Amino acid sequence: MNDFVNYINSMNNASSDTVEALAESQVLSDYYDKIRIDRAIGKYIADRIKKKERLTIVLTGHAGDGKTSILVQVLRELGLLTPNTPLKEEEEFIKDDIRLYAVKDMSELSENKQIDFCQKALEAPKNNMSAVIISNTGPLLKCLETINSRKNGEKINEAEKNRFQSELLEQLDSNKNEPILIGEYKILLINIARIDNVYFAEKILKKLIADELWSPCENCRKKQNCYIFNNVRLINKYYGRISSFITAFYSYLYENDMRMTIRQMLSQISFSITGNHSCAEIGDNSKDVVKFRNLLSNLFFGFSGYDEIDNADQIQGIAYAKSLKLDSKALKCDYKLFVTGDLKDFPSDIRTLVESQKNIFNIKHLNIESNEEKDTVFNDKDTEYRKAIRRTYIFFGQESGKADKYNILYDELFGSGFNDFMCIQHNEAEHSLIRRMENTITNALYLEMTGISSSQAKEIPITIKRNDDSFQKVMLTNGSLKKSDFKIVAVNDSNEFEDIQNKKKVFLKICNQDTFRLTLPMVIYFKEIADGVISTIADPSLTHGISKLKTLLQKNCPDNDEITIIVNNTDVPTDLKLYIYDGKIFVE
């Protein structure tokens, strides 16, 4: 038996037993130090306190973002907390030159305690102390209003309240490492939800498969039959490929406003290893079909073989994986997998499991009765079979010579342009890639503005047209911009809070003046348009972004007193200039 299996099972919410999913419980576990990950923000806060900076630091963010773990890290780096020591609601720490007041979580306190603890934290610098408190913005704002009213002896006016809210919201969005002034108090407000935590996925994966945590399994008589230990072995063996996909999956979610908290990632990854099974559930004889059913590629998507697992989509990552339907997408490898039966892209041990499924499925297919009801059953199973094999390919399939990090498969799964965007964002793009994306965007803008495609055109007419998908033969123009006026630039997006220091924001620079933020959904949309894919924008944020870009294009058009129209022909559009003379309209 391996107690660690029970520990990671308790980290997800696919069952009712979720005690260890709470950060406070994790701190008290002997396994906590073995899987915890120190963060840059924790070291940043500890360093500022070590320098005897007397300041009040407020950590805010979503449940599961790791706020409590950061507080534990800070206290340990300062030598104020020993392992397996529970956190108190509030506590003053004094050691050598370190003087710190800490509040564990304001959301767990009564309203009176929230106000009292918040006031002590705000006034800590006056008492030659630093303070770290964990609080959501709602309780924090309410406490600030109440404390200000107490000091002034009157209720805070609406204008001051709006100013408080504006200051807080601006800092929550920008996450600058500079204190803000709220009333007479200076606070450093850090929004953990604005810190990119995608890179934690591979670190979590690495921690969970550490040899020391699975050493009890080496002497277990069921080792050869254990699908849990088999998943651990496979992750160790194919770590680069598996961690690459998981990171790409969470990156896609993050860039599409479906950010996962650390707790949610831990929940999905731990479930992918065990499927919430315990050591006691492992049988003495585990056939290939059982191993395939509980293969981590199936569990990650919430499946046991072909069947959905009850309650698995309570895990947020699994719910997202199902909604994206990645295993239902037709892939280039489908012909090899399902027509020719070529399984060479699988490693030998995975190929054995897939071949066993293929043989079982073929037997059922060959013996099927030819009546309508049975055909329907077969077709349903055929779909589920294909989806299960695709899930296995996503995790383990690898064409010879293809790199793990930017696997071409990701463009098929997440959208053409995904890999290019990630390369630029992580400062790994060659100049030729950037030029290629510039051409893609300008070609897409040309089509967006005119309704026809032309990669040979040197300029983009800035048209005034209907905002729908209707083709217009005649359009007014407000001038034109050269395609060479558009440049992609990458700007540093890191600060002391971030764990990744080379990440970039990607912008489209127009006429060397205005800049427009490019997002992954927008890059994929432009790539689809440039490739001739008929695409209807369903995402409101994407619609807003395209409208904003068109406004910038109109703004950057050179002043022109002439009235110009474009007439779309079968080959190339015709430009016509209109002018008025002697009360008549002439066409040139």
| 1 occurs within a structural domain | no
Q: Given this model, what pLDDT does residue 376 score?
A: 46
Query: In terms of domains, do 188 and 236 share one?
Result: no
Question: Residue 313 has which token pair?
Answer: 């989509």
Query: In terms of domains, do 222 and 186 share one?
Result: no
Contacts of 431 (CB under 8 A, 6+ apart): none
pLDDT reading at 230 higher than 70: yes
pLDDT band at 160 (very low <50, low <70, confident <90, very high): confident
Coil, strand or helix: which one is 405?
coil
pLDDT reading at 470 higher than 70: no
| 370 occurs within a structural domain | yes
Q: Given this model, what pLDDT does residue 260 score?
A: 93
| 11 occurs within a structural domain | no
pLDDT reading at 255 higher than 50: yes
| 402 occurs within a structural domain | yes
Q: Given this model, what pLDDT does residue 587 score?
A: 74
Query: In terms of domains, do 445 and 302 share one?
Result: no
Specify the CATH number for the domain of residue 121.
3.40.50
How far, in Å, CA of 416 to CA of 155, rounded?
56
Stated as kind and residue range, the H or E segment containing 241 is: helix 239-255
Query: In terms of domains, do 445 and 545 share one?
Result: yes
Per-chain mean pLDDT for the chain: 86
Query: In terms of domains, do 429 and 449 share one?
Result: yes
pLDDT reading at 554 higher than 70: yes
Query: In terms of domains, do 179 and 320 share one?
Result: no
pLDDT reading at 6 higher than 60: yes
Q: Which percentage of the chain shows pLDDT scores above 90?
A: 52
Q: Given this model, what pLDDT does residue 173 score?
A: 84
Q: Given this model, what pLDDT does residue 406 score?
A: 79
Query: In terms of domains, do 125 and 152 share one?
Result: yes
Give the dihedral of Cα atoms 530, 532, 536, 537; nearest 10 deg. -10
Domain membership of residue 159 as a residue range: 37-194
Dihedral over Cα of 384, 394, 539, 14: its sign: positive
Cβ burial 304-315 (10 Å sphere, 16+ → b, else e): bbbeebeebbbb
| 482 occurs within a structural domain | yes
Q: Given this model, what pLDDT does residue 151 score?
A: 66
Neighbour order of strands in the sheet with 514-517? 486-492, 504-510, 514-517
- Among residues 493, 505, 503, 518, the alpha carbon closest in space to that of 442 is found at 518
Query: In terms of domains, do 449 and 353 share one?
Result: no
Integer-rounded Cα Rg, in Å, for the chain is: 29
Per-residue model confidence as pLDDT tens digits over 428-446: 999 999 999 999 999 999 8
Residue 10 main-chain phi, psi, to 5 deg: -80, 0
Using CB atoms within 10 A of its CB, is residue 227 exposed (0-12), middle (13-18) or buried (19+)?
buried
| 4 occurs within a structural domain | no
Q: Given this model, what pLDDT does residue 318 score?
A: 96
Query: In terms of domains, do 366 and 484 share one?
Result: no
**Overall domain count for the chain:** 3
pLDDT band at 375 (very low <50, low <70, confident <90, very high): very low
- Among residues 309, 332, 331, 333, the alpha carbon closest in space to that of 321 is found at 309
DSSP letter at 563 equals E
Query: In terms of domains, do 495 and 354 share one?
Result: no
pLDDT reading at 423 higher than 90: yes
Domain boundary among 140, 166, 194: 194
Query: What mean pLDDT is predicted for residues 175-187?
Result: 84
* Range in 162-176, 194-208, 272-286, 308-322 the model is least confident about: 162-176
| 8 occurs within a structural domain | no
Residue 199 main-chain phi, psi, to 5 deg: -65, -15
- Among residues 41, 37, 24, 46, the alpha carbon closest in space to that of 190 is found at 41
pLDDT reading at 467 higher than 70: no
Using CB atoms within 10 A of its CB, is residue 56 exposed (0-12), middle (13-18) or buried (19+)?
buried
Query: In terms of domains, do 278 and 313 share one?
Result: yes
Per-residue model confidence as pLDDT tens digits over 232-246: 999 999 999 999 999
Q: Between 32 and 248, whose confidence is greater?
A: 248
Q: Given this model, what pLDDT does residue 22 score?
A: 53
pLDDT reading at 18 higher than 50: no
Q: What is the DSSP string of 332-384?
A: TTHIIIIII---TTS-HHHHHHHHHHHHHHHHHHHT---SHHHHHHHHHHHHH
Q: Given this model, what pLDDT does residue 370 score?
A: 46
Residue 62 main-chain phi, psi, to 5 deg: -80, 160
Query: In terms of domains, do 528 and 559 share one?
Result: yes
Q: Given this model, what pLDDT does residue 23 score?
A: 58
The whole model's pTM is what?
0.89
* Range in 87-96, 298-307, 485-494, 563-572 the model is least confident about: 563-572
Query: What mean pLDDT is predicted for residues 29-36?
Result: 87
pLDDT band at 518 (very low <50, low <70, confident <90, very high): very high
Domain boundary among 162, 194, 226: 194
Query: What mean pLDDT is predicted for residues 491-506?
Result: 84
| 70 occurs within a structural domain | yes
Q: Given this model, what pLDDT does residue 399 score?
A: 63
- Helices 239-255 and 227-237 cross at an angle (nearest 10°) of 90
Domain boundary among 379, 414, 449: 414
Per-residue model confidence as pLDDT tens digits over 41-80: 999 999 999 998 899 999 998 888 889 999 999 999 999 9
pLDDT band at 16 (very low <50, low <70, confident <90, very high): very low
pLDDT reading at 342 higher than 60: yes
Question: Residue 21 has which token pair?
Answer: 């999913």
Query: What mean pLDDT is predicted for residues 99-125?
Result: 92
Per-residue model confidence as pLDDT tens digits over 184-213: 888 999 999 888 899 899 999 999 999 999
pLDDT reading at 17 higher than 50: no
Q: Given this model, what pLDDT does residue 139 score?
A: 82
pLDDT reading at 13 higher than 70: no
Contacts of 477 (CB under 8 A, 6+ apart): 461, 462, 463, 464, 564, 565, 566, 575
